[in-house]
Amino acid sequence: MSMAAGLESLHYEFTGTQPAGAFAPVLVGVVGSGNLEVLLEAAPGATCRIDVSTSARGFGTIWEAVLRDFHARHPLAGVTVSINDMGATPAVVSLRLAQAAAELS
């Protein structure tokens, strides 16, 4: 975890069981008040790495719970997820992640 320019950076990594294979980058959402953008990119390996940049500092445990739930439903492998957040609620985070994962189907 690190903080720069008022943003907190969080990093998570999960072992996946569903290889995503090659795909064009997927972008959903917008960076704006109460919203976020999610970018999925293909990556080597069998993990799903999630990097979060958020304006809402101090919510690491909530982020971890939301991301663990997402990965339990979508155990992606070979994917890097980048999230740029401007104070989205956990429900909006889950929605955007599900939208991005649906683009891989």
- Which strands form 36-42's sheet, in the order they lie side by side? 2-4, 7-15, 47-54, 79-85, 36-42, 26-29
pLDDT score recorded for residue 4: 53
Q: What is the pTM of this model?
A: 0.92
Pairing of strands 36-42, 2-4: unpaired
pLDDT tens, 14-72? 999 999 999 999 999 998 888 999 999 999 999 999 999 999 999 999 999 999 999 99
Sole residue written with tokens 């080597």: 44
Distance in angstroms (rounded) separating the CA atoms of residues 92 and 35: 7
Closest to 83 (Cα-Cα) out of 95, 74, 72: 95
Residue 9 structure tokens? 């950076």
Q: Of 3-7, 32-36, 45-49, 86-90, which gets the smallest average pLDDT?
A: 3-7
